Amino acid sequence: MSEGSASGVPHLPGMEVRPVERNVYEVQIGPSHPGSGHMRIIVELDGDVMVRVDPDIGFVHRTMEKLAEGRGWIKNIPLFERMAILDACNTTLPYVEAVEKLLDIEPPERAKYLRALLCEINRIASHLYGIGIFAVFLGHSTIYMWAFGDREVFVQLAEDLTGARLTHSYPVFGGVRRDIPDDFPQNARKAVRYMRYRLDEYAKIYLNNPNIRKRLEGVGVISKTKAAELGIVGPNARASGIKYDVRLVEPYEAYPELDFEIPVFEEGDSLARAWQRVEEIKQSLNIIEQAVDWLEKHPREGFMHDKFWKTAPKLYKDVYEGNIPYAGKYRVKLMPLFATLKVPPGKAAARVEAGRGEIFYYVESDGKEVPYRVRVITPSFRNVIAFKYVMPGHRLMDLPAIYGSFDYFPPEWDR
Amino acid sequence: MDMVTAAKVFSDIGWGLFHYIIFYPPVYQFIIIPGLVAALVVVVFMIWFERKAAARVQMRYGPLEISPRTGGAPQLIADLIRYTVQELIIPSAADFFAFIVAPNAMLILSLLPMVAVPMTSISEYWPIPMGYSLLIAVALSTLAPIFTVVMAWASNNKFSVLGGVRESFIIVAYELIAVISLLSVVPLLHTFNLVDIVNYQMSGIWLGLLNPIALLDLFIAILMSTSGFPFEIPDSETELVAGPFTEYSGLIYGINMGGGYIRRWAFSVLMTLVFLGGWAPYRPGPGILLGYFVPSLIVVVKATIVMAIMSFLRAVYGRYRLDQALSLAWEVLIPLAFAAFGISVAEAFFGVHP
Amino acid sequence: MGGGVREVPATAEELQKSLLEALKDYKPQVEPVKGYIDIVVPVEHLVEAAVKLKELGFDHVISVGAVDYIAKKQFKVMYHVTSYLNEDLSKFMVSLSTYISRDNPHCPSLTRVWLSAELQERETYEMFGITFDGHPDLRLLLLTPVVAALKPLRKDFVVKEESDNIETDYEAFESSKWW
Amino acid sequence: MPAKPEIKKVPRATFLGRAIAGNIGALTLGVKYFFDPNRITLLYPHEYIKLKQGYRGYIVLIFDKCISCESCARICPAKAMKMVSVNVKDKKLNKVMKKKYPVINYNRCIFCGLCVDVCPTEALYHVPYHDLVYLNMNDMILNLEQFQEQPEFVTSKEGVPVTYVFDEKRGLVKVRADESVKQEGQTGQASGGENK
């Protein structure tokens, strides 16, 4: 295989011709491959064992950082949430927080709870998506369908709250765009109870299924020090025993006041990573209950920073209270100055624990209507490196078991 | 001298055609029941059932839109037509002869065991003399999977070759299990004759009850041989696009896709006869209807139920890793198969034999 | 940030002071930023400062980023680091940054110090054309060679976008030109 | 109360427990759902979801309320809205004058709803549906007249309106939209997926 492949092939721009060692069988998993999703993994096989793994990413790169330099501050929110639309609130929240730091404002209490609420709904949806994709990698189509079907419950909750299924554009500078509808608390509690009992069934048919356990146990083990060295994030790092969660180390929004646990597993294998997500869903369900209780008890005021709401005309309050029949209810209208917002010069960074891990924004302003520079680091991007260093030594059939356990999402890591 | 009328000639020819070609049991069994036609009908039903069963478990409907009243049953017919008229692409780098011949050979050889199985106890309708029919059927059943490897090699594709290598690993593993567990009934009954085996079970004691380990072993071996879940390893689509069938398209891909099911069908019929009582509790009566069609229908229904159970596993399991499946086969199932053989010997020793 | 009150063993100011003390051999500077601590060292001391920070417990890189200051003809390369294993340090983000010249930009690679910087340095290499000396595997990551040659994140690469003009005349609007 | 880390363990299983209990548990659950399926499929277009008010669907302009402030066009992240000048008769001043009004290009619209939220006089509003079909891309550029009328919701002519209500046992349950009001209090008695 190794000799003949390079000969007689014209050298086109962008084409890479390199020798392959003898006795090594190179397989390219991807880019348009059922198991991969617009990402290529170049695997060199010795027999059935992978000896070299080179993740080749960038097939859905959209230059978000460059596009952000040409758009107004608020227009970047719908842009950035397209990195991971199933995790939209978490993905845009650090950007909003960083800009709020530059504007020197802090959202009021109710807005913080609303943001945390949507963040957790998104986190559950994102984890369910990850579980589903992972399951179909292992050939377990039932959990794939179940996870996607049950994700619909939380997508529906998000739709009730924000008016859009996935692209919520929910947090804006200084506040949020909607308040919870009247029937939201009872729906949310039903969804929480449903999901709790569903998770037991997931464990029964999937995680405790001997077939799946055998595939995952002891596969792709990452030790605590190795995880820290590779800098992998989120549930994957916590499954290796790292007690790091932005909600824990640098609590943002309403998280300092909420009572929940950060589950940590110490095994560091694919099975631990799968269980990690289940445990995190359980904690997110707790948070949703607490946030909904808080929102129900407290009066409906303080959903937007005074800077943007104090001068609002009476019509804005009418729209919020639902006095205008065609306009809906509990909508927080934006002041026209949002359209031409200018942010004071400065540099700010913010991080948030998104579904797949820590998401980081560096925002620099030079006082204009558009950002000077926005740097985004998404969790999936930081997890890619693990493929390169964890997969070698495993068998080819372990590739999906490791790849899926990291909860990949190419649009997110390509940005 | 009799008058040779045209009518008599034609009726003689017709009778000859019917008697020696259409209802000549080896041909009939191979072509109609339980061979090609029955297999195709069952496979079409089974693929539909597999999709519907998985869909029921998975919060959805499965095939429906083509005919909501029947639950989308004609969907597979439509798929069949689509495969038939689809363009057949043969890669220029593939070995043309082997690429075309291997799938067809696999299809034919998958059904070859059918010429050795009896569908009734009346000797008039036996396809071959039944003395060693179990041995012959088992031997014929091992021919087909080699052509999967040939297909993989002929495709000249990396994924195909990897899938073919996996297939050959699995062939070696499952064949021994299947053969030993099928033959474990021989010491018990002192016969290779399938009719005798079924006749013994007429008493109501199915051999599956006498030797459940052999039944379980055979069940798993069939799953392995036909790459059913949880052993869908050669064409595991997440890392090898479609395994040995990656380069196939159109009708030949359809043959490949059905090939596994047809092999499963052949094994299910064998399993029904040996372990699940064949046409028991029905005693074949006189005449072709009561003596042939009714018992063969019973066998077909039983074998279909076996296949349905196998298909349902798709909704519950993922797939094992290759080395795990192999170690399961070599370390667990083959000792179990020998144990089943031992159980038969013990049962024969203690006089379970009639 | 956030509304909650946390009791922390060290505030960001204290940490900044102690970091400046620890890095004082490498001429550190501090820039006013929000949400993290920005320490700027000269490019020749970058590796040594990184080694020192790693000894202090900052064990992984969150982000490797660059900013193009085209007016000053400079790039600023930033390594945002924090700690996984030392839970007291996890609260803080520290940026170790350096200014390098905009023409023929070279920067020492910190992949040997922090393995987690490997892919991100590759990204910065293709987006800005900054060569990281000593990187074990400096190849393109996201872009094709044709696009990477344009160094897309530099400020002198301008994305051709539709103008911000929000007005249009009625006839042009109805024509099919406007997608 | 801030978060606290909590060390968890992957549930261990003995060999027998894994081989027998694990398999039986998985199989019984599969069989349970085989006989009692919990289907959530929407049989679109025979059924369609009747969305609630507040859904960010297509946008409609109320001509009389517009004050030509241009905020909507300025805030549009996709540059889908533009202002066009038309001659209108001002009732108060009783003379014809040029005013600017927004028009929209649905090739670009991403339904973020920022324009509706930013409008100071609430001259724009969402209609709660989004699945429309256009014959070509030109038709998706609405002019001022088309922008003022609610787009025709073709699916509603053939399909049955359904809504999904939350349920503790079955997650989301599909009910006929007209029945959902009745079932509001007692959604427990699930009509399941068989509801057709």
> D120, A313: Cβ pair inside 8 Å?
yes
Average pLDDT on B255-259 reads 81
Local confidence band at D194 (pLDDT 50, 70, 90 cut-offs): very low
pLDDT score of B150 more than 70:
yes
The confidence score (pLDDT) of residue B1 equals 53
**More confident position, A347 or C178:** A347
| Averaged pLDDT for residues B85-96 | 84
The 3-state DSSP class for residue C72 equals coil
Lowest mean pLDDT among A237-241, A264-268, A323-327: A323-327
Q: How many other CB atoms sit within 10 Å of the CB of residue C39?
A: 23
Please give the sequence-ordered ranges of beta strands (E in DSSP) within chain D, or none if there are none. Answer: 4-8, 47-49, 59-61, 81-90, 95-104, 124-126, 160-167, 171-176
The number of C-beta contacts closer than 8 angstroms across A and C is 140
Task: Give the tens place of pLDDT for each residue, C10-49.
Answer: 677 777 777 777 777 777 888 888 878 888 888 888 888 8
Does D185 have pLDDT greater than 70?
no
Cis peptide, bond prior to residue A410, ω within 30 of zero: no
- Please report residues of C whose CB lies closer than 8 A to that of D107: 179
Mean pLDDT of A355-371: 87
Residues of chain A with C-beta less than 8 angstroms from the C-beta of B311: none
Average pLDDT of chain A, as a whole number? 84
Cβ-based contacts of D19 with chain A (< 8 Å): 210
Q: Give pLDDT, residue D182.
A: 54
Closest by Cβ to B316, choosing from A205, A399, A400 = A205
Q: Residue B224's pLDDT is what?
A: 86
The answer to whether the CB atoms of D34 and B57 lie below 8 A apart is yes
- pLDDT tens digit sequence for A204-257: 888 888 888 888 888 888 888 888 888 888 888 888 888 888 888 888 888 888
B57–D39 C-beta distance less than 8 A: no
Angle, helices B334-349/B158-183, rounded to nearest 10 degrees: 10
Q: Which of A31-40, A200-209, B35-44, C83-92 has the lowest mean pLDDT?
A: A31-40
pLDDT at C169: 61
Q: Which residues contact A375 (CB under 8 A, 6 or more apart)?
A: A65, A360, A361, A362, A363, C63, C65, C78
User: What share of chain B in percent tops pLDDT 70?
Assistant: 98
**Does A101 sit within 8 Å of C1, measured CB to CB?**
yes
User: Residue A28, exposed/middle/buried by CB under 10 A (0-12, 13-18, 19+)?
Assistant: middle
pLDDT score of C137 more than 60: yes
- CA–CA dist C26, C49 (Å, integer): 7
Give, for C68, the enclosing helix (H) or strand (E): strand C60-69
Q: Are B314 and B58 in contact (CB under 8 A)?
A: no
How do the domains of chain B map onto residue ranges? Answer: 32-349
Predicted confidence at residue A6, as pLDDT, reads 45
Interface residue of C173, C175, C177 to substitute, partner D, most D CBs within 10 Å: C173
Per-residue confidence (pLDDT) for residue C6, from 0 to 100: 37
Number of neighbouring beta carbons within 10 Å of residue B286: 8
Domain map (residue ranges) of chain A: 64-385
CB contact under 8 A, A66 and C87: no
Of A206-220, A292-306, B12-26, B173-187, which range is least confident? B12-26
All domains of chain D in start order, with CATH? 38-52+151-196 (no CATH), 59-150 (3.30.70.3270)
> How far is CA B106 from each of CA A390, B29, B37, rounded to the nearest angstrom?
40, 18, 16
Out of A299-313, A334-348, A363-377, B331-345, least confident range = A299-313
Per residue in A84-127, pLDDT (tens digit) is 888 888 889 899 988 888 888 888 888 888 888 999 999 999 99
Q: What would the pLDDT profile of B309-330 be if each residue is shown by its tens digit?
A: 998 888 888 888 888 888 888 8
Residue of A nearest to C54 (CA): A229
- Burial string for B260-277 (b: 16+ CB within 10 Å, else e) reads bbbbbbbbbbbbbbbbbb
pLDDT at C1: 36
Residues of B in contact with A205 (CB under 8 A): 316
Query: Under a CB-based contact definition with an 8 Å cutoff, are residues A40 and A393 in contact?
Result: no
Please give the sequence-ordered ranges of beta strands (E in DSSP) within A22-85, or none if there are none. 25-29, 40-46, 49-56
From the list A63, A224, A229, which residue is nearest C152 (CB)? A63
Q: What is the mean pLDDT of residues C52-80?
A: 86
Contact criterion met (CB < 8 Å) for A140 and B317: yes
Locate A86 and state its tokens: 């199933």
Q: Do the Cβ atoms of A188 and A182 come closer than 8 Å? A: no
* A106 dihedral zone (left: phi>0; alpha: psi -120 to 50; beta): beta
* Residues 54-73 (D) with a CB less than 8 A from some CB of C: 70, 73
CATH for the stretch C12-174:
3.30.460.80
Token output for B66: 């083509």
Among C85, C87, C153, whose Cβ lies nearest the Cβ of A66? C153
Whether B315 and A142 lie within 8 Å, measured CB to CB = yes
The phi, psi pair for B299, rounded to 5°, reads -60, -45
| pLDDT value at B354 more than 50 | yes
Percent of chain A with pLDDT over 70: 94
pLDDT given for residue B305 in this prediction: 92
Degrees, nearest 5: CA angle D119-D122-D127: 105
pLDDT score for C167 = 67
Q: Please judge whether A58 and C146 are an interchain contact, meaning their C-beta atoms are less than 8 angstroms apart.
A: no
Percent of chain C having pLDDT more than 90?
Answer: 0
> Could you say which DSSP state residue A304 is in?
B
Please indicate if any CB of chain B lies within 8 Å of the CB of D44: no
Residue-wise pLDDT for B105-132, tens only, equals 888 888 888 888 888 877 777 777 778 8
Q: Closest partner residue to D8 among A162, A265, A335, by Cβ? A: A265
Asked if D1's CB is within 8 angstroms of A258's CB, the reply is: yes
Provide the pLDDT confidence category of residue B25 given band limits of 50, 70 and 90. Answer: confident
Give CATH for domain A64-385: 1.10.645.10
Can chain B be said to touch chain C, i.e. do they have 3 or more Cβ pairs within 8 angstroms? Answer: no
- What average pLDDT does this structure show over B18-44? 78
Band the pLDDT of D180: cuts 50, 70, 90: low
ipTM: 0.84
- Cα D2 to Cα A283: distance, rounded to the nearest angstrom: 13
Question: Can you read off the two tokens belonging to residue C80?
Answer: 């945002």
Tally DSSP H helices, then E strands, for chain B. Answer: 17, 0
Q: Searching chain A, which residue's CA lies closest to the CA of residue B57?
A: A142
pLDDT computed for residue D96 by the predictor: 79
Average pLDDT, integer, range C90-99? 86
pLDDT at D167 > cutoff 70 = yes
User: Is A265–D7 a contact, with Cβ atoms under 8 angstroms apart?
Assistant: yes
Q: Is the model's pLDDT at D108 over the cut of 60?
A: yes
Predicted confidence band of residue D187 (pLDDT cuts 50, 70, 90) = very low
pTM of the model: 0.87
User: How far, in Å, CA of A317 to CA of A322, rounded?
Assistant: 9
CB-based contact D84 C168, cutoff 8 Å = yes
Interface residue of D166, D175, D180 to substitute, partner A, most A CBs within 10 Å:
D166
Do the two chains A and B touch, given a threshold of 8 Å on CB pairs and at least 3 pairs? yes
Asked if D4 reaches chain A (Cβ–Cβ under 8 Å), the answer is yes
Cα B9 vs. chain centroid, distance in angstroms?
A: 40
